[in-house]
């Protein structure tokens, strides 16, 4: 394994193959097996590095005798990369279409197995000030407090809000509760001259934009 550590130090992580990267992640001083072989076996069993990275910890820990700690290490590395990518994308982003919102938010929300609701706060020139989770729930529902969303907009001096939430177990078509929530937040924000620019639902089968559907 020393040659892999030397390669990492001299040429950087981007120079590593998928198997080499995974081998360094699963390396353990108390395991006599070659981590490179373990990595190759994992890639063969799951089919790709992406599949390994997104495997459930409970299943991953049983694969190749990884155990809990190394399975957790793989999932933490995946989450670290996801968050860093999402933060970089949003840091200097401006939003002009619902496609821009989906590009930023889908990497964050795709890995969620439960419904989540996020708010994106914008300046008048459509620059993102902040994007944050405002609620999370079960597989089919989440509860959102519209007062907290508007309160945060006032704190940030935001002039626009975009609401984004997931439908992890179904299509992107809005429910009656989604429509009611949209109206409630739109009306509450309008009292402070803040505009709800869009409410976007992201599902595995696609996206739905209230603005594009002329429902705002």
**Per-residue pLDDT tens over the stretch 171-202:** 899 989 899 999 999 999 999 999 999 999 99
pTM of the model: 0.63
Residue 151: pLDDT band with limits 50, 70, 90: very high
User: How much is the pLDDT for 211?
Assistant: 94
Q: Does domain 2-86 have CATH number 1.10.8?
A: no
* Start-end of CATH 3.40.140.10 domains in the chain: 92-209
Residue 57 clears pLDDT 50, i.e. is over it: yes
Least reliable range by pLDDT among 17-21, 66-70, 93-97, 159-163: 93-97
In the chain, list all ranges with CATH 1.10.150: 2-86
**70 burial class (0-12, 13-18, 19+ CB within 10 angstroms)?**
buried
CATH no. of 92-209? 3.40.140.10
Phi-psi bin for 201: left (phi > 0), alpha (psi -120 to 50), beta? beta
Mean pLDDT confidence for 166-172: 83
């Amino acid at each position: 394994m020393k040659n892999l550590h030397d390669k990492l130090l001299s040429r950087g992580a981007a120079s590593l193959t998928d198997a080499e990267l995974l081998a360094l992640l699963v390396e353990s001083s108390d395991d006599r097996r070659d981590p490179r072989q373990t990595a190759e076996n994992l890639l063969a069993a799951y089919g790709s590095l992406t599949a390994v990275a997104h495997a459930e910890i409970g299943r991953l820990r049983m694969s190749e005798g990884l155990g809990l700690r190394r399975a957790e290490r793989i999932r933490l590395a995946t989450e670290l990369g996801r968050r860093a990518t999402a933060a970089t994308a949003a840091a200097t982003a401006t939003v002009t279409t619902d496609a821009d919102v989906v590009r930023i938010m889908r990497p964050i929300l795709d890995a969620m197995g439960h419904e989540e609701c996020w708010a994106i706060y914008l300046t008048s020139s459509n620059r993102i000030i902040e994007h944050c989770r405002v609620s999370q729930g079960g597989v089919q529902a989440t509860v959102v407090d519209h007062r907290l969303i508007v309160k945060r907009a006032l704190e940030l001096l935001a002039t626009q809000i975009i609401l984004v939430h997931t439908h992890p177990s179904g299509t992107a078509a809005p429910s009656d509760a989604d429509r009611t929530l949209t109206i409630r937040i739109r009306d509450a924000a309008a009292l402070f001259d803040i505009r709800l620019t869009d409410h976007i639902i992201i599902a595995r089968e696609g996206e739905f934009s209230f603005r594009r559907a002329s429902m705002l």
